[in-house]
Structure 1
Amino acid sequence: MNQQRARRGHEDDWWRQLYGDGEGGGQGAAGGAAGRAGVRTAGPSDAGPSDAPDTLDDRVESALRAVRAQAEPKPWEPPVRPAAPPPEPSPPIPLPATGPASRDTSSDTAPGTPSDTAPDPLSDIPPDTAPDTAPDTAPDTPPSRTAGFVGDRPPTYDPEPGALPAADPGALDDLVPDTALDGARYGSLTLRAASQRGDSARYRGEVRRDALLTARFGAGRQALILVAVATPPPAAEGAHRAARDACAWIGGAVGRSYTQLAEDIRTDHRDALKSGLQRLTDRSYGKLRGRARELGAAPERYTAALRCLLLPADPDCRTRVFFGVGAGGLFRLRDGAWEDLEPATADHDTGDAPGSDGGPPRPAPGSHTAEGPVRPAPFLFRAAFARPGDILLLCSAGLAEPLQEEPAFAARLAARWKAPEPPGLVDFLATAQLRVKGHTKDRTAVGVWEA
């Protein structure tokens, strides 16, 4: 019994030395450092008897827990890096001087007198000069100055498209793209055509009202090219449909008769050509009147000014034929100067000219109905012979008006388009959209370059 008690006492001394439960020898994890420093730490002998189990198995389990705690790796934590200092502010970039005084006008072409040394109209753009005062309808944001313009300051409206027109999910075919662009080359002629929504319509989110049709009928030397431009009356609801109908119906009429029309042009039978085109035009306007009745619209509101060019693809035929009704423009750029080819009053034919027998006027076939005249204005016709280097320009009122009223605008167009080679589609559009303050209508332009 004494031997067992002595052995038990020896084992207790060994465990106390291992875990620091006593005062002697080594200290445990909690008190080893303090013991080595000569500082006495409290242990079970100081606290008196403990109720905690103190069997051999308990002590072995306690030792294993201590070993596992020391062997388990600590979770990895990213190193703490000092925050980078904030970047120093960049020095301010000096802005160019603004205002009309900063513009160099020494190389500007004098209005109406273009020359071979005239500057490119799109490269001579004055710096950003906001208008002194903006109208009540001005956009909320300052307009961009990326587009060319003439005058002492740019127009108030932004030159790029703004709001899209409202769409009806049941009538998506009524949507019209902001810009239409087309072109072709046949024989000695090069065709360029562009139609663009005006600044006012872009700002208000309205559709482009001008309509443009380019079509070829036939093939080879017998082909005939038709270009039609239509503009409806202002402020007429849904009038853009009338413009599209006018182009489509005159296109169908010409297409069904193109063989005879092309022959009349080649043989220079102008009287037959004029009377035939007048009948086709009157029939197209008769259809517009009928469509107005179907829609319950006033005939004078569901209509459009219509201007057309007929261009034979035969390289040996240089006769170009214009016909139409209503406002717009017909010009020719020859030797660097613009010529107005609008038919004179004597060439207007309303169908009311006196008969050859001196009797009362006789209406042309189809030009009148019981409700009044079919077309809203006199029929216009002109056939012109094209010389190499000529440029023929057919346009809607949106381009004809600034061309007639602004000499600087006319000079810029002449300087840009009189180059030996016809412009590409993008260059043609860029020149046609040269901006003038106060002219915000849709613009449609058709140019024919003669080689």
Structure 2
Amino acid sequence: MTIESIRAWGDRGVFRPRELGPPSLAAGVPWRLGGVAAVPDTVLEAGRVGALEVRAASTRGTSHRFDGVVRQDAVGVSGLDERYVLAAVADGVGAAADAHRGAELAVRHALAELAPMLPGADLATVDLTRALRAADRAVRAAGPSPGERATTLTVAVVEAGPARRFRVVRVGDSPAFLLTDGAFLPLLTERRGFFSESATDCLPSPRWPAQHASGVLRAGQALVVASDGLGVPVQDTQAGAYLAQAWAEPPGPVAYLHQLQFDLRSFDDDRTAVVVWARGEP
């Protein structure tokens, strides 16, 4: 098999990932299947809850595809009684052997904890950190060596009614943004000066208190919850301008996934994002 025939593998034409600069060195070569059948390369979800439009996707980075490593990000979204959108994003710590499992456990148990708390409650009074604690217990209790399941976790709740308030809570560095006026505005700040600046807090047994953010989604704005595989290029490269324009209004689900899979050298980690748009005044 020649190099030319190897690099002919992959999507072409309108399906080819958008190149925002020099392509990833792993782009255009055959993917290697991961070793865990229960963790697919890509997941995609979309829907409408009241006046909110929702898109969610998690996709394996080109480096993991090239190396045959399973996707270590996880994502979950749900609508609750047409009143709320619940979202969670987890980014398994790359050095942990079962990071993918920790991420999936964190998302699943955080959303399961939140769902029964919200009906009949005022969002402002709900203890969102309970979702983080439930995820932490699940990651620790899943077997020996819980550190091998290390993962970040960011959880968000958005009201689908007229108020359209949102709240976000996180452990680790998976970011949340307000997409408004063509820019991604960070809602949570990076921690500095506690331990090593390069250290990422994570489940299980986080070292630092959870971070919180809250606000209101105005018409035309969107809340974005992501892994740093998207958060870093959005803040540091032309990907920010590209996606701000592409996501000025909700794209179709397949178009959303295609936009998320842009190609840019050195930014080849798993990418995960939930975007919740306020469609207009109810």
TM-score category, normalised to shorter length: 0.7 to 0.9
Q: Corresponding residue for 1:403?
A: 234
Task: Report deviation, 1:343.
Answer: 4.7
TM-score by length of 1: 0.54
Question: Which of 182, 207, 214 lines up with 2:45 in the alignment?
Answer: 182
Task: Report deviation, 1:187.
Answer: 2.1
Contact 2:44-2:56 within 8 A present in 1 as well: yes
Task: Report deviation, 1:411.
Answer: 1.1
Contact 1:139-1:157 within 8 A present in 2 as well: no
Q: Corresponding residue for 2:257?
A: 429
Aligned equivalents of 2:107, 2:250: Cα separation in 1: 26
TM-score by length of 2: 0.84
Aligned equivalents of 2:155, 2:30: Cα separation in 1: 28
Contact 2:24-2:62 within 8 A present in 1 as well: no
Aligned equivalents of 2:70, 2:149: Cα separation in 1: 16
Question: Which of 53, 62, 67 lines up with 1:204 in the alignment?
Answer: 67
Higher relative contact order (CA 8 A, sep 6+): 2
Query: CA separation of 1:139/1:345 partners in 2, compared to 1, >3 Å: closer, same or farther?
Result: farther
Aligned equivalents of 2:112, 2:262: Cα separation in 1: 33
Query: CA separation of 1:376/1:212 partners in 2, compared to 1, >3 Å: closer, same or farther?
Result: farther
Aligned equivalents of 2:216, 2:30: Cα separation in 1: 39
Aligned equivalents of 1:161, 1:320: Cα separation in 2: 41
Question: Which of 125, 133, 158 lines up with 2:27 in the alignment?
Answer: 158
Task: Report deviation, 1:319.
Answer: 0.3
Q: Deviations over 1:25-79 (max 9, x none)?
A: xxxxxxxxxxxxxxxxxxxxxxxxxxxxxxxxxxxxxxxxxxxxxxxxxxxxxxx
Given the alignment of the two structures, is residue 285 of structure 1 paired with residue 143 of structure 2, yes or no?
no
The one-letter amino acid of 2:180's match is: R
Q: Corresponding residue for 1:264?
A: 122
Which segments of 5 or more consecutive residues in structure 1 lack a partner in the other structure?
1-137, 347-372
Question: Which of 204, 228, 242 lines up with 1:412 in the alignment?
Answer: 242
RMSD: 2.5
The within-5 A match list for 1:6-405 is 141-142=6-7, 146-151=16-21, 153-158=22-27, 162-166=31-35, 175-217=38-80, 219-220=81-82, 223-260=83-120, 263-265=121-123, 269=124, 272-273=125-126, 276-291=127-142, 295-297=143-145, 299-314=146-161, 316-343=162-189, 374-405=205-236
Task: Report deviation, 1:377.
Answer: 4.1
Task: Report deviation, 1:392.
Answer: 1.8
Query: CA separation of 1:343/1:318 partners in 2, compared to 1, >3 Å: closer, same or farther?
Result: farther
Contact 2:92-2:152 within 8 A present in 1 as well: yes
Runs of 4+ in 1 over 3 A off after TM superposition: 343-346
SS state of the match for residue 309, structure 1? Answer: strand
Q: Give the number of equivalent residue pairs.
A: 262
SS state of the match for residue 301, structure 1? Answer: helix
SS state of the match for residue 147, structure 2? Answer: coil
Aligned equivalents of 1:187, 1:160: Cα separation in 2: 42
Contact 1:139-1:203 within 8 A present in 2 as well: no
Contact 1:329-1:395 within 8 A present in 2 as well: yes
Aligned equivalents of 2:251, 2:114: Cα separation in 1: 28
Aligned equivalents of 2:109, 2:184: Cα separation in 1: 32
Query: CA separation of 1:155/1:249 partners in 2, compared to 1, >3 Å: closer, same or farther?
Result: same
**Which protein shows a greater Rg?**
1
The one-letter amino acid of 2:270's match is: D
Query: CA separation of 1:237/1:139 partners in 2, compared to 1, >3 Å: closer, same or farther?
Result: farther
SS state of the match for residue 214, structure 2? Answer: strand
The one-letter amino acid of 1:154's match is: P
Contact 1:282-1:374 within 8 A present in 2 as well: no
Aligned equivalents of 1:162, 1:340: Cα separation in 2: 33
Contact 1:147-1:159 within 8 A present in 2 as well: no
Richer in strand (by share): 2
Aligned equivalents of 2:51, 2:24: Cα separation in 1: 38
Aligned equivalents of 1:139, 1:214: Cα separation in 2: 41
Task: Report deviation, 1:258.
Answer: 2.1
Q: Deviations over 1:307-336 (max 9, x none)?
A: 11112232x121011112111211122122
Identity percentage of aligned residues:
31
The one-letter amino acid of 1:142's match is: R
Aligned equivalents of 2:90, 2:240: Cα separation in 1: 22
SS state of the match for residue 393, structure 1? Answer: strand
SS state of the match for residue 65, structure 2? Answer: helix
Aligned equivalents of 2:5, 2:230: Cα separation in 1: 27
Contact 1:391-1:447 within 8 A present in 2 as well: yes
